[in-house]
Amino acid sequence: MQFIKNFFSSIVITFIGLGVGIYLYPDNIAATVYSILILSLLEISLSFDNAVINAKTLATMSEFWQKMFMIIGMPIAVFGMRLIFPILLVSMTSSLGFVDVIKLATTNPGQYQVILETSMPLICSFGGAFLLMVFLNFFLSDNENTHWIKIIENNILIRKIKDYDGGYIVFAIIIGFFVTLYSPQETQGKIALAFFLGVIIHEVLGILTSIFNKPQLNTTNIAKNGLIGFIYLEVIDASFSFDGVIGAFAISTNIIIIMIGLGIGAMFVRSLTILFLKNKTLSKYIYLEHGAHYAIGFLAIILICKMFIHVPEWFSGSIGILILAISFVHSMVDNKKETR
């Protein structure tokens, strides 16, 4: 009963989504239902660590903005990030107009997939850079008191870097330089622009926070201003949605089915976020936040690697869940030690 209560809205959206899919494509109901459910599971597996990060950020926001994240953020997540955003990216990185891309997505999804995959280096460069900033900012700026893997998080070198406030930015710029250097010569300019746009957007959110709140440019304080925190969560969601949108085409080339399936998955991720928030999961399991940021770091690396080599979508989701599972178990072990 508790599960149904926590995930009631997600379950309702699932049945509505399945109903819409069956109504639109009644010729092969079994295939439609199967595709939607598999796409939902794909989205949940790829974005499970996103729920942890969302819960951490929402915990510092007011109740009003928490509700806004669920009410307004949900349509943005489903229609904006998983339908309009990929179409907009294809339009920006091709010679096609926005309306032309919509027609292509609905009438010739195979060609739409090809164009979307052609745009992947730029998408991966931007998304990889933004997630890399989230990862580096946490471990080289935010993370002061609790350390999970001390040899990595609290060694002499890391402590020295932490003494310099912009250390994580320097790391990101160095990585961006090498990513650009080893990219195909004809796309180096666009790759560099996309990468540093990801870095800049992360820092702009911090600057806006310093204007509205306190003059500190770290991830935790970004959340303390409601509007900026909301924007931050949506950009994070966009970065996490890249893999799901591209991987979805391995299951279905129907853009409507993809949107329904990924939308249902996104709804369950939102429900997980609220569950983590209500149960104060991050305070109970102290290494879960660290595990989520390590998963983000790996996802950033995977997105950057995808610019040069093929990385299967199942690996992207599996590595995140595995790291979170390990951090969860380790937190439970430490909690039992403290209660003895």
- One-character DSSP codes across 88-116: HHHHHTSS--HHHHHHHHHH-HHHHHHHH
Per-residue pLDDT, averaged over 129-149, amounts to 78
Rounded to whole angstroms, how far apart are CA atoms 37 and 33? 6
Per-residue pLDDT, averaged over 117-146, amounts to 79
Q: Give the Cβ contact number of residue 111 at 10 Å.
A: 12
Mean pLDDT of the chain: 77
pLDDT given at position 80: 73
Per-residue pLDDT, averaged over 5-14, amounts to 83
Q: Looking up tokens 């080339």, which residue turns up?
A: 253
pLDDT given at position 16: 92
Residue 223 has pLDDT above 60, yes or no: no
Cα→Cα distances 110→240, 247, 318, Å: 23, 14, 27
Q: Quote the percentage of the chain above a pLDDT of 70.
A: 81
Rounded to whole angstroms, how far apart are CA atoms 309 and 37? 28
Rounded to whole angstroms, how far apart are CA atoms 184 and 191? 9
Helix (H) or strand (E) holding 84: none
End-to-end CA distance of the chain: 32
| CB neighbour class for 174 (10 Å; exposed up to 12, middle 13-18, buried from 19) | exposed
Rounded to whole angstroms, how far apart are CA atoms 190 and 123? 11
Q: Looking up tokens 């990185």, which residue turns up?
A: 93
**The token pair that represents 40 in the structure block:** 């939902």
8 Å CB contact between 282 and 276: yes
Q: C-alpha dihedral over 151, 162, 327, 130, to 10 degrees?
A: -130
pLDDT given at position 180: 92
Rounded to whole angstroms, how far apart are CA atoms 86 and 241? 10
8 Å CB contact between 239 and 125: no
pLDDT given at position 265: 85
Cα→Cα distances 55→48, 107, 131, 280, 281, Å: 11, 39, 17, 9, 9
8 Å CB contact between 31 and 18: no
Rounded to whole angstroms, how far apart are CA atoms 182 and 170? 19
Amino acid at 172: A
Per-residue pLDDT, averaged over 306-333, amounts to 79
Residue 216 has pLDDT above 60, yes or no: no
**The token pair that represents 3 in the structure block:** 């599960």
Rounded to whole angstroms, how far apart are CA atoms 99 and 231? 26
Q: What is the pLDDT of residues 49-74, one digit of tens each?
A: 677 777 777 777 777 777 777 777 77
Residue 327 has pLDDT above 90, yes or no: no
Identify which has the larger pLDDT, 137 or 244: 137
pLDDT given at position 215: 40
Cα→Cα distances 13→19, 248, 255, 330, Å: 10, 19, 18, 34
Of 176, 169, 178, the closest CA to residue 195 belongs to: 176
Half-sphere exposure of 314 (CA within 13 A, CB side): 3
Residue 18 has pLDDT above 90, yes or no: yes
pLDDT given at position 253: 65
pLDDT tier, 226 (very low <50, low <70, confident <90, very high otherwise): low
Q: What is the pLDDT of residues 272-306, one digit of tens each?
A: 888 877 777 767 777 877 887 888 788 788 888 88
